[in-house]
A and B are shown apart, each in its own frame.
Chain A
Amino acid sequence: MGSVLVTTSVENLQNGINSVIKTLGDEVGIYVSLNKTHEGVESALAKANIPTKKIFFIDCVSTQDTKNEEVVYIKPSDLEKLILTIKMFIEEIKPKKYLLIDSLATLLIYNNTNKVAAFVKTITDFASQKNVEIVALSQKTTGEELLDKIFNFFDKVDKK
Chain B
Amino acid sequence: MNRREIIASTIILLALALLIYLTISSFKITPLAILSSNLEVTIPQEYQTVTPGSQIWFSTKVLNLADMGKRDVSLKYEVLDQNRIPVTSKTETVAVQTQASFVASLQLPTTMSDGIYSLKVTLTDSTTQQTIESENSFNVLAEKKEDYTQYLYYVPATIVILLVLSLIFFKGRSTLEKASLRLKIRRIVKKKLSQ
Contacts and interface: CB of A to CB of B under 8 A. Distances in A.
Interface of A: 28, 53-54, 56, 69-72, 81, 84-85, 88-89, 92-93, 95
Interface of B: 178, 181-182, 184-186, 188-189, 191-193, 195
Contact of B178 (A56, A69, A84): A84
A95 B190 CA distance: 12
Contact of B181 (A56, A70, A71, A85): A85
A95 B193 contact: yes
Nearest to B186: A92
Query: Which of A56, A85, A88: most chain B CB closer than 10 A?
Result: A88
Contact of B188 (A54, A70, A84): A70
Task: Provide the main secondary structure of the chain B interface.
Answer: helix
Given A53-B195, A95-B193, A69 B181 contact: no
Contacts of B186: 92
B176 to A, nearest CB: 13
A71 B185 CA distance: 9
27 contacts: A28-B193, A53-B192, A53-B195, A54-B192, A54-B193, A56-B192, A69-B188, A70-B188, A70-B192, A71-B188, A72-B181, A72-B184, A72-B185, A72-B188, A81-B181, A84-B181, A85-B185, A88-B181, A88-B182, A88-B185, A89-B185, A89-B189, A92-B182, A92-B185, A92-B186, A92-B189, A93-B193
Query: Which of A28, A54, A70: most chain B CB closer than 10 A?
Result: A70
Nearest to A69: B188
A117 B193 CA distance: 32
Contacts of A81: 181
A95 to B, nearest CB: 7
B195 A56 contact: no
B193 A70 contact: no
Across the A-B interface, the 9 shortest Cβ-Cβ residue pairs: A92-B189, A88-B185, A70-B188, A92-B186, A88-B182, A92-B185, A93-B189, A89-B185, A70-B192
B179 to A, nearest CB: 11
A126 to B, nearest CB: 15
B42 to A, nearest CB: 81
B189 A56 contact: yes
A83 to B, nearest CB: 12
Contacts of B193: 28, 54, 93, 95
Nearest to A28: B193
Contacts of B184: 72
A85 B178 CA distance: 9
A71 B191 CA distance: 12
A53 B188 CA distance: 12
Nearest to B185: A88
A81 B178 CA distance: 9
B89 to A, nearest CB: 84
